Structure 1
């Protein structure tokens, strides 16, 4: 039979700014971790004010949450002014104290409670029955301990997050009862647990995910590069150089957060590691971030097991993890990572310089099979980002725009202008708008390409033509930006524009012709009587 837990507290003073202002998310994270440990919630008394308790007044709006056994979730028990909610909370305090006296509560989780007011009866009962208590809130926990309550772990709130507090609470209780517990990651917004255990951070290392999540930083850099070319804005070139140095930090933060899944703690570790990894370029940033994420996980777990205060756990995990990983990159890995990046860029430049037109043609012909086969995000996108790290634009980025985005735009436009049936026009219109307006969602062309092999062949041919022109004009550019704006981010606006128009028109004309031929081959309906 699972242990029964009571959750007691309020949105607090300092806690208010560290998760307390969103009570459902705060409580949801605790419930997720409790479920992982086979602990059940038997009672809840949580007062959520609409301001920090340090500034709250009797007329401040507040909400009282209690536990609904039949729904197995937190419910609103009362709403009104803080004074009115406190009155309702005192009745709930009496009810939970009775549960403790009847032996229905095995442990208590506390956050910024009021042992002298709205929670007095609960802690008096907990002291009498030696109920183990764990919680945060320096002042409240000191007051609870002074009443003789059996406190097994106590900490301040500073530096904690919803997840780190929840993991600390449940770890303390499970260690006290010698129960197994594996923290989980998952939505902290309510019901349900994640599928990935916090004890398996290696499984969350995903280079493709790190690259995709970091892409906005590269696009921001490209925008600054374009703006620096405008007369009167040449001073932005120094900003561009600064942003190049920031790219490893961005990648390190993304990597650390994805690997550790410990919110702000992992972000801090990623920043520290990223700053120390800048000499290794974006490869160094990725390595530093992954290392920081792994170390955050292990340091956090060990500190919790050793019963460090939650604030100290966060400081140790975030600070030490970032330092250790970052210093390892700074002194050992940075030269190797930088050389690897330069080697990949050098290889691309060598192939392109040998015959730009042939390189563009081959890249264009292969880019659709690459994205359909899953190779694009795994191999091509990282190379695009490596190219952009140095110059702010990319040869393969230009091929991406002309070979994927413009070809998709041409196919969808054809199915708006000359569809095989009216339903296809409705399907094509949103895709065309996204291709032109955002430089993405090339998958909009899939329904038309997969339903007609000749349209598929036309897409590959059009992409090859666009790639050929990119090579002839020696264009460097990027996708993932509005198509009308993309030429301004390239090194050759005229050449990029011609290449984009050629791909779009070629795929458009091929698709229109094939649609017309398809309509012509359809048997006419028999209208005879």
Structure 2
């Protein structure tokens, strides 16, 4: 408890605002969570809160507009809704909270203030007057209100408009200004760890967030959308969509750049804008160029953002500089330096796949089919195979390895789960297998549904690899290009050879089904044989 009182105490005085309402103010819980996260990172604590959250922008407010009043709950040490009603009723109660916070300031229980779209002549009058008397440091957004607060004598150490800001960038700007003024050590918090709920510091985690697997998986819907356009363009009368397909190809580097920038920087809209700017300039570099541009943009966003905040730029300017300049630098670097290399590298990888398939497609498909299960179980699939699939799809909308994925993983998993629905080793396995079969057939994913059966029986595991090899062989024989991650009935429509793809899909599914079916039959028979027979005395007893 003693440590609590040695920390600098912050009061948050705010409303959902006019312009702020559209830039995070209407999601009060998220706005306050972000702000409290940064306050904690600086070693400070929030002890006072008055937040008037209206259900509409304050620019269009009416007396009967519904609103809520958030104040600080001393018991839970967190924000709590204390009043719900019309804006007039909430403002009346807010005046009482305003007087309470003013009393805390007068008694030396507040060390700094954060204002957001405050009302210094109304609901926050007493707090502003008390802060002016104590010369407490204050920061905030809202051009008009902050100018009035400063004019009333409050020690405003930094101020900014709301335009172009986000919950995160505002919070980081506020706490950076206060921590520098109060002499506190502070590094912005970028997120919460998914594993242990501990805070990650941006200075050490930006590079750690570079995850090619995550970027590829997040961007996959864009590739599937492109494949759908390709399939639709083949329908008689819709050939004009081929131009849309070409446009979609050019959009892929932008998609990857945006995803990469957002994952690396984690600065919400700012990193998204930087990714778009960088992605547009990296189109000539293909998806490799887009990934490189996005990663570089994400790293630069964080660096420029941090520097601008340290130099006490207004929050709006910080966002513009971080998003715009970071995107430009990253995009121009790819445009002039990296694009030719990235384009060449992507072309060479595709050429190698095409060469192997054209030389001996049956052998190439067989090897790919035999290796794809060990690859996904060993964690190699998403790191090596998926990027190659996307590189193939970048030019043609479908992929040789994508077809092997569908027949070797999805259909084999479907066959194994189907066998365990029809002829399970015990009744409980049917219930486990049914959802997996439905998802594999309906969505073209969730191959992990076969794991419980493969790992519990080596023969089923071997059967999966054999079936996958057969499917890959058929893909090579029919020279199929396709994709997974789509419903099984739709997959042939997205391929270059619908008939060949159907044969390959059915072949691997039937093969894995039959192998699993007969292994389950044998297993059940062995269990029955091993059961001890009851004697005549036991039967009578």
TM-score range for the pair, normalised by the shorter chain length: over 0.9
Residue pairs, 1:20-59, within 5 angstroms:
20-59=25-64
- CA offset digits 1:102-133 (Å, max 9, x no partner): 10000001110000000000010000001100
**1:403 counterpart residue number:** 408
Task: For residues 56-109 of structure 1, give each alpha carbon's deviation from its aligned partner in whole angstroms, at most 9, with x where no partner exists.
Answer: 111100000001121011101101000000000000000000000010000001
Q: Which residue of 2 aligns with 1:288?
A: 293
Paired residue secondary structure (1:44): strand
> Where do 5+ consecutive residues of structure 1 fail to align?
none
- TM-score between the two structures when normalised by the length of structure 2: 0.96
Cα deviation digits, residues 198-226 of structure 1 (max 9, x gap): 55311111111111100000000000000
> Which residue pairs with 1:364 in the alignment?
369
State the distance in 2 between where 1:265 and 1:373 align: 36
Q: Distance in 1 between matches of 2:314 and 2:100?
A: 30
Whole-angstrom distance in 2 between the partners of 1:493 and 1:326: 39
**1:194, CA displacement in angstroms?**
3.5
Tell me which residue corresponds to 2:259: 254
- Indicate conservation of the 8 Å contact 1:248/1:274, yes or no: yes
Out of 294, 306, 309, the residue aligned to residue 304 of structure 1 is 309
Out of 88, 94, 98, the residue aligned to residue 99 of structure 2 is 94
Whether the 8 Å contact between 1:184 and 1:198 is mirrored in structure 2 is no
Identify the residue that residue 455 of structure 1 maps to in structure 2: 460
Matched, 1:76 2:104: no
Conserved? CA contact 2:158–2:177, under 8 Å: yes
**CA distance change for structure 1 residues 133 and 199 in 2, over 3 Å: closer, same or farther?**
farther
Tell me, yes or no, if the aligned pair for 2:43 and 2:184 is still in contact at 8 Å.
no
Quote the RMSD (CA, aligned, Å). 1.2
1:48, CA displacement in angstroms? 0.3
**Aligned position for 1:422:** 427
3-state SS, counterpart of residue 232 of structure 1: coil
Following the alignment from structure 1 to structure 2, what is the Cα–Cα distance between the partners of residues 277 and 393?
22
**Deviations, residues 398-441 of structure 1 (Å, cap 9, x unaligned):** 00000000000000000000001111000001100100000000
Quote the residue 1:413 is aligned against: 418
Classify 1:525/1:12 alpha carbon distance in 2 versus 1 (closer, same or farther; 3 Å): farther
- Name the count of aligned residue pairs: 527
Structure 2: where are the runs of 5+ without partners? Answer: 1-5
**Distance in structure 2 (CA, Å) of the matches to 1:143 and 1:368:** 67
Displacement of 1:186 in angstroms is 2.2
Corresponding residue number in structure 2 for 1:147: 152
1:333-376 C-alpha deviation (Å, 9 max, x unpaired)? 10011001001111111111110000000000000000000000
**Superposed, which structure 2 residues align to 1:132-171 within 5 Å?**
132-171=137-176
TM value normalised by structure 1? 0.98
1:382 pairs with 2:391: no
Gap change, CA 1:52 and 1:86, over 3 Å in 2: same
Which residue does the alignment assign to 1:347? 352
Q: Distance in 2 between matches of 1:372 and 1:354?
A: 29
Q: Secondary structure at the match of 2:517?
A: helix
Q: Distance in 2 between matches of 1:302 and 1:154?
A: 17
Q: Distance in 1 between the 2:41 and 2:257 partners?
A: 29
Whether 2:81 is the aligned partner of 1:65: answer no
Quote the Cα distance in structure 2 between the aligned partners of 1:366 and 1:299. 45
Secondary structure of residue in 2 paired with 1:262? coil
How many Å separate the matches in 2 of 1:200 and 1:180? 18
Q: CA deviation at 1:195?
A: 2.9
Shift of 1:140: 0.9
Counterpart of 1:234 in structure 2 is: 239
Kindly indicate whether the alpha-carbon contact (under 8 Å) linking 2:12 and 2:48 is maintained by their aligned counterparts in 1: yes
Once residues 192 and 389 of structure 1 are traced to their aligned partners in structure 2, the CA distance between those partners, rounded to angstroms, is 37
DSSP-derived class of the 1:54 partner: helix
CA contact 2:176–2:309 (8 Å) conserved in 1: yes
**Residue 531 of structure 2 aligns with which residue?**
524
Give, in whole Å, the separation in 1 of the partners of 2:75 and 2:46.
12
Residue 330 (structure 2) aligns with: 325
1:64–1:77 contact (8 Å) kept in structure 2: yes
1:105 to 107, 110, 113: 110
Q: 2 CA distance for matches of 1:199 and 1:59?
A: 49
- SS at structure 2 position matched to 1:280: helix
Separation (CA, whole Å) in 2 of partners of 1:210 and 1:446:
25
CA distance in 1, matches of 2:131, 2:49: 15
Secondary structure of 2:239's aligned partner: coil
Q: Is the counterpart of residue 222 in structure 1 residue 227 in structure 2?
A: yes
Mapped partners of 1:183, 1:453: distance in 2: 50
Question: CA separation in 2, counterparts of 1:518 and 1:488?
Answer: 39
Query: Using the alignment, how far apart are the partners of 1:453 and 1:524 within structure 2?
Result: 23
Could you tell me how far apart the structure 2 residues matched to 1:318 and 1:117 are? 36
Report how far residue 456 of structure 1 moved.
0.2
SS in 1 for 2:376: helix
